[in-house]
Amino acid sequence: MTTKRLLLSAGLALAIGAGIAGWNTAATAQAPQGQTLRYAFQGNLNTLDPYSLNETTTLALQGNAYEGLTRRDKDLSIIPGLAERWETLDNGLTWRFHLRRGIKFHGGEDFTAEDVVFSATRVRAATSDLRSRIDADVEVVAVDSHTVDFKLKRPNPILHYEWDTWYIMSKKWAEANSAVQPTAASATTPGFATLNANGTGPFRITQHQVGVRTVYQRNPAWWGKVEHNLAEIIFTPITSAPTRVAALLSGEVDVIDPVPLQDVARINASANARVMEGPELRTIFLQLDQRRDELVGSSVKGKNPFKDVRVRRAFYHAIDIEAIRRQVMRGAATPTALLISPLMYPEGGQVQRLPFDLAAANRLLDEAGYPRQGGPTGTRFEVTFDCPNDRYVNDGAICQAVTAMLARVGVKINPLFVPRAQYFAKVLATGGFNTSFYLLGWTPGSFDSWNVLHNLVRCRDDQATGGRGAFNLGGYCNQQVDALTDQILVEPDVAKRNQLIAQAYRIITDEASHIPLHQQALAWGVSKKVELVQRADNQFLFHWVVKQP
């Protein structure tokens, strides 16, 4: 016993001594090998093909191996990527990109203008899910080996906004492996690029088994400035939230995403991990069906109460957003008046939410001709409320809160909470927009208001040609807003454009086209040994990670 203790204290003293004396040597000895980062996310990385699925985490995981012409910095500002610089010519009808020289793909192929032209074709193939990255009528021309022109039919000031996730693939590699097109939905054989990646990025994927693990290794030939100290990253999906938290607490993984809100305090209280929270770009909102002449799920027959702006405003006034933030979201949400995050539209401050005001809500509903039936606590009318329960942070709980809040103004909500697969099958085009009142979240892929107005606000074309109003499930329609949307698309002057956007947001707030709720917050669980950058678009990029040994 005593010898054991003696040995132990000797060892400890030695370790401390060595630690103090040899700190620097130890660090430099460690550096060449680098650290291993273990990262767990709730979902799978289903494909390595960068054009198969337009989804944040998939693109982020691919984006550690692949790169676009542009990149987004820690604060989301656009910075050069594979292109060193770019300029617009012909009054904005031609965009010229100058490519970086001397870059090689992980497989050893040289990166040239040919690869960009090829990638532009591939991303617009019929089997690509990222066709929105470049319009079909844009002509892409290689001027010389390291210059590419994009010739537009009409000016587009936000042409390159989404190009940080339009990853450039090697033409040679794709052709050699018969991967010139993304795998089709109906394919009978899996595509090569689904399981293999060949990018130019800071890490290359050396092992990938869907739903089990994906291993990245440092690319020593990367062109950029190395800010990380990693040699290897092991990505594992962990579906079950308690297990994910347990794996972080036991030190088996270094980073988890997401952390369930109820576990935040526990992780922060632990010795080896903390929760990093930050605003996310996704906006959660409600919308009422303003299009049908009679609602599909309501006690009101022969007319649609939501066509009346007073009823919509009454619903808006009835929402106690502060209670949702505090109680349902445990503080991890930022109430908003807009359908876009203030990070992507800083001028948004000029639009205010309709205040929480039960008296106003009751008055508006009375005026609109929906009095309480049977006394001062009676019900005015009933309506069905569609809500997913596994798509957004605490979505089911938000809907319960909304149901209770509307009950206070005499509207009886019949909530219909279902898993996301059934939910989207019902409320989207395939289900015939079969909803009277629903909750949805939206992040504009382009980080720009035009995407929001085009998808969520403008009049829905029932064939939804070109996606016009495709997610305006409630069918709000105002010609003035449509005209503004078209103008915003082509207006090259930034200040003027922002004014047009503000104008559109003011109109839809007045008309209560939607009821914006909040920006949900990111919550990542991070080991205390790890420093990383949490970008608001929820992309986790490994080349900003520093891990202590």
Partner 1 sequence: MLAFILRRIIQAIGVLLTVSLIAFSLFRFVGDPVNQMVGQDTTPEQRAEIRQQLGLNDPVVVQFARFVGRAARFDFGISYQNKQSVAKLIAERFPATMELAFVSALFALLAGIPMGVYSGLRPHSWLTKLFQTVSLLGISLPTFLIGIILIFVFPVSLGLLKSFGRQGVVDLGWWTTGFLTREGWASLILPSITLGLFQMTLIMRLVRSEMMEVLRTDYIKFARARGLTNRAVHFGHALKNTMIPVITITGLQIGSIIAFAIITETVFQWPGMGLMFLQAVQSVDIPIMAAYLLLVATLFVAINLIVDLLYVAVDPRIRIAGRPA
User: Which residues of this protein are in contact with partner 1, per CB under 8 A?
Assistant: 40, 44, 46-47, 49, 52-55, 126, 129-132, 183-191, 194-195, 209-213, 236-240, 242-244, 246-247, 249-250, 252, 390, 419-425, 428-431, 442-443, 445, 451, 455, 463-467, 470-471
List the Cα angle 457/458/464 in 5-degree steps: 110
Least distance to partner 1 from the beta carbon of 407, Å? Answer: 29
306 or 423: whose CB is closer to partner 1? 423
| CA 401/CA 327 separation, integer angstroms | 9
71: which 2 tokens? 């990149």
Report phi then psi at 241, rounded to 5. -60, -45
Least distance to partner 1 from the beta carbon of 240, Å? Answer: 5
187 or 404: whose CB is closer to partner 1? 187
Least distance to partner 1 from the beta carbon of 62, Å? Answer: 13
| Contact predicate 296/435, CB 8 Å | yes
Strand pairing report for 411-418 and 381-388: parallel
50 or 202: whose CB is closer to partner 1? 50
Least distance to partner 1 from the beta carbon of 248, Å? Answer: 9
Q: How far is CA 301 from CA 33, 224, 294, 298, in A?
A: 71, 64, 6, 7
90 or 390: whose CB is closer to partner 1? 390
Least distance to partner 1 from the beta carbon of 482, Å? Answer: 17
| Contact predicate 207/213, CB 8 Å | yes
306 or 442: whose CB is closer to partner 1? 442
229 or 389: whose CB is closer to partner 1? 389
| CA 400/CA 317 separation, integer angstroms | 17
End-to-end CA distance of the chain: 32
| Amino acid symbol at 273 | A
- The residues near 423 (Cβ < 8 Å, ≥ 6 apart) are 386, 387, 388, 391
Least distance to partner 1 from the beta carbon of 360, Å? Answer: 34
CA dihedral (38, 44, 47, 52) positive or negative: negative
Least distance to partner 1 from the beta carbon of 308, Å? Answer: 28
Which helix (H) or strand (E) is 268 found in, with range? helix 264-269
7 or 187: whose CB is closer to partner 1? 187
